Amino acid sequence: MPPYFNDACDGTHDPQLRSWVGDASGHADFPIQNLPLGVFRPRGAEPQAGIAIGDHILSIPALLDAGLLEGDALTAGRAAAQGPTLNPLLELGAPCRQALRAAVSRLLAEGSPQRPNLLHLAADCELLLPAHVGDYTDFYAGIHHALNVGRLFRPDNPLLPNYKWVPIGYHGRSSSLRPSGAPVRRPHGQRKLPDEPVPTFGPARHLDFELELGVWIGPGNRLGEPIAIDAAEGSIAGYGLLNDWSARDLQSWEYQPLGPFLAKSFQTTVSPWIITPEALAPFRQPQLPRSTEDPQPLPYLLSDSDQRSGALNVALEVFLLTDAMRQAGLAPQRITASHAESLYWTPAQLVTHHASNGCNLCAGDLLGTGTISSADPTGYGSLLEITRSGRQPLRLASGEERRFLEDGDEVILRARASRVGFVSIGFGACRAVVTPAYNEGGNACHA
């Protein structure tokens, strides 16, 4: 076994560990070293808490019924089984979550008694949102995205003065969050292009995706009490993928002076599995150093430990599958490859700043990091950047072109954490197909 990367690593990360669940070994996303948390609905049954292992889902209620949990793991299992969401489990915090992970790792390990009756085939189940999201906040922490967008609209001043001092964010719409696989309906709204004399109302013409990580909140804070930077990691229950769908033509007309509104609130797609901090322990890395010309974070946002290991070694990809590609039997085409190290602020800094004014975060709240683009054009995290706001169309291997998304297009986000000496883990897919807008009579209409 290689030396553990940090003190948070333990036997659950052992690269020699194998599971009696045959398809878990070598699985692209869910080997036994991952064990993410989620909520699923077996065919003909009610939603329940589960843990992904290979192509299967381990039922937490079934673990309880079999009497296979004890101590803090039992406490965690009972919390997870309280209802159709994981909020009670997330609220418990790290010790119970870690105990559940360790117990499940032992139960699923090769050499332990095989209990296939505890498993469901994932393909036969519906994956749901893992938590009831009371509040959703989207940040703007991807500095290359901020620079790229700024250069498109403010060539002489791409970054506003506050960007390198304060994590920028806006309050999103939690009611329109949907799990991976749910279609996204093209929204209506006011749109006005520069060459149009007056705005019109109708379906968005410039629909876009945004590649982001989601940060799930665990134990929160009381109203009026901030979260210190060194305590912020304890408030993070896990991570996922997030697609912050954006109607760029609506956004450009409405965003001043108060920021995003209807251009963002129509839907946000979230991957269904919570990848826990414990699973990601081997894949922590130092935050990239800032330029000597950049200001250091203010003291409330600065922690030596967070700077040493607060960033994530997670590679990100976006794939596009058009309707024509689907009809021709072609595979989705990768259109971007980015990395989480491009975030200017760490997840802990986002949490700390969010609560710094006394705002109370609650278990199950969701934070988006903002679009994660790399400095290289091959890693731009939105079509707005890839096509330079539609001026340079993306040419696909199928012969098609895209300036922005068309009806029938499917966007698929994927992520993978890796480090030499450890088993890589994935996040599962975050995907959705764009469907036509509706007119007032309830029939499909087109831009």
Query: What are the tokens at 264?
Result: 């963002």
Is residue 315 within 8 Å of residue 419, measured between CB atoms? Answer: no
Report CA 110 to chain centroid distance, whole Å.
31
Q: What gap in Å lies between CA 168 and CA 399, rounded to an integer?
A: 39
353 in active site: no
Coil, strand or helix: which one is 431? strand
Q: Which DSSP string do the residues of 126-146 spell out, in sequence order?
A: EEE-SS--S-EEEE--BHHHH
Q: Which DSSP string do the residues of 80-93 spell out, in sequence order?
A: HTTSSSSHHHHHH-
Rg from Cα positions in the chain = 22
Is residue 320 within 8 Å of residue 413, measured between CB atoms? Answer: no
Q: Which DSSP string do the residues of 145-214 spell out, in sequence order?
A: HHHHHHHHH-TT--S-TTTTTS--EEE--GGGEEETT--EEPPEEEE--TT-SS-EEEE-SSEE--EEEE
Q: What gap in Å lies between CA 129 and CA 222, rounded to an integer?
A: 25
DSSP at 355: H
CA distances from 293 to 160, 162, 289, 341 (A): 15, 14, 11, 19
Residue from 13, 56, 120, 145 carrying the catalytic annotation: 145
User: Catalytic residues, which ones?
Assistant: 145
